[in-house]
């Protein structure tokens, strides 16, 4: 039996995972929007527009040219007023001691504002323990990159399996995976977020590959669709596109539950 988001909100030890599932259920949205723009005002404008339709905002804070503290204050205010959580897609990839510093310090102080961040598993388990030292006391959640959407990704097969094994050892902090599909059985629960989702094109010129919400959620058992340029790219109407992807993601979820068709 496929569990509902509301049922899964009860299962997780991690506070961020529980809150995310509650938010998904409240807003009837499994849409995470990835806003990869380089100016603060542009980022805030898009987030304000799509905020009502998303459960999660994914940032790449290091691409913002005019980053300052005020951006974080405003993003947090939007996260409160529109009711969504924040995921900084930092893709940490170093030894535990270094990632702990990168997570807590420097210009961005990611751990102080991002509910969720993520890490590659290439360095081994120390990357999780390093990030957990900072994030766990704050109630944050970590996603492991078990697969990637880009062509020729090396995160496949035994690498993906070893990543799942690492997650199982840190269930209080690791809440799930970046992957194209559900990686575990129904007896254990991890959140799967899938990037590389688009309804109109099949890829970009730099190796990105797109699949539809139906494909990732119904056929592959993923939980959250991550959509970037499909919503804000090419002068698109961001509100219209956010609603379109929210509806497509929710319809796919209802189909997976057997409530549609």
Total count of residues recorded for the chain: 261
Phi, psi of 188 (to 5 degrees): -130, 155
- Subset of residues 74 to 103 that bind ligand UP6, contact rule: CB under 6 A: 89
Contact at 8 Å (CB) between 5 and 21? yes
Between 9 and 227, name the residue whose CB sits nearer to ligand UP6: 227
Q: What is the smallest separation between the CB atom of 104 and ligand UP6, expressed in angstroms?
A: 22
Is 229 annotated to bind a ligand? Reply is yes
Give CA angle at 117 (53, 212), nearest 5°: 45
Q: Which is nearer to ligand UP6, 139 or 207 (CB)?
A: 207
- The answer to whether 28 is a known ligand-binding residue is no
Alpha-carbon distance 241 to 18, whole Å? Answer: 27
Q: Which of 83, 94, 215, 247 is catalytic?
A: 94
Beta-carbon count within 10 A of 171 CB? 15
d(CA 13, CA 173): 8
State the Cα–Cα distance between residues 167 and 4, nearest whole angstrom: 22
36 near ligand UP6, judged by CB under 6 A: yes
Phi/psi at 121 (nearest 5 deg)?
A: -105, 5
Nearest to 129 by CA among 107, 98, 154: 98
By the rule CB under 6 A, 25 interacts with ligand UP6: no
Tell me the per-residue interface mask from 159 to 178 with ligand UP6, x by CB under 6 A, - otherwise.
-------------------x
Determine which helix (DSSP H) or strand (DSSP E) holds 31, and give its type and residue range.
Answer: strand 31-34
Strand partners, 57: 33, 86
242 lies in the site for ligand UP6, by CB under 6 A: no
Q: How far is the CB of 149 from ligand UP6 (least distance, A)?
A: 4
Q: Is 66 a catalytic residue?
A: no
Interaction mask 199-238, ligand UP6, x per CB under 6 A = ---------x-----------------xxxxx--------
Binding footprint of ligand UP6 on the chain (CB under 6 A): 34, 36, 60, 89, 148-150, 178, 195-196, 208, 226-230
Which residue positions form the known binding site?
36, 58, 149, 208, 228-229
Which residue positions form the known binding site for substrate?
36, 58, 149, 208, 228-229
């Amino acid at each position: 039996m496929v569990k509902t988001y509301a049922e899964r909100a009860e299962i997780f030890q991690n506070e961020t995972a529980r809150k995310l599932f509650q938010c998904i259920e409240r807003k009837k949205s499994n849409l995470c929007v990835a806003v990869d723009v380089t100016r603060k005002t542009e980022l805030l404008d898009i987030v304000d527009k799509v905020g009502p339709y998303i459960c999660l905002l994914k940032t790449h804070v290091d691409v913002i040219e005019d980053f300052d503290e005020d951006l974080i204050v405003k993003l947090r205010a939007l996260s409160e007023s529109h009711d969504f959580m924040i995921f900084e897609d930092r893709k940490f990839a170093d030894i535990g001691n270094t990632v702990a510093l990168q997570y807590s310090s420097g210009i961005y102080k990611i751990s102080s504002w991002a509910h969720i961040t993520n890490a590659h598993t290439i360095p081994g388990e120390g990357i999780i323990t390093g990030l957990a030292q900072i994030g766990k006391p704050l109630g944050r959640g970590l996603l492991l990159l078990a697969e990637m959407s880009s062509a020729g990704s090396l995160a496949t097969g035994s690498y993906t399996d070893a990543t799942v094994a690492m997650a199982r050892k840190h269930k209080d902090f690791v809440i799930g995976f970046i992957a194209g599909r559900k990686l575990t059985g129904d007896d254990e629960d991890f959140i799967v977020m899938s990037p590389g989702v688009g309804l109109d094109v099949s890829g970009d010129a730099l190796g990105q590959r797109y699949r539809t919400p139906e494909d990732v959620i119904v056929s592959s058992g993923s939980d959250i669709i991550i959509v970037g340029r499909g919503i804000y790219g090419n002068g698109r109407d961001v509100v219209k596109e956010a609603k379109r992807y929210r509806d497509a993601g929710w319809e796919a979820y209802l189909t997976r539950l057997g409530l549609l068709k």
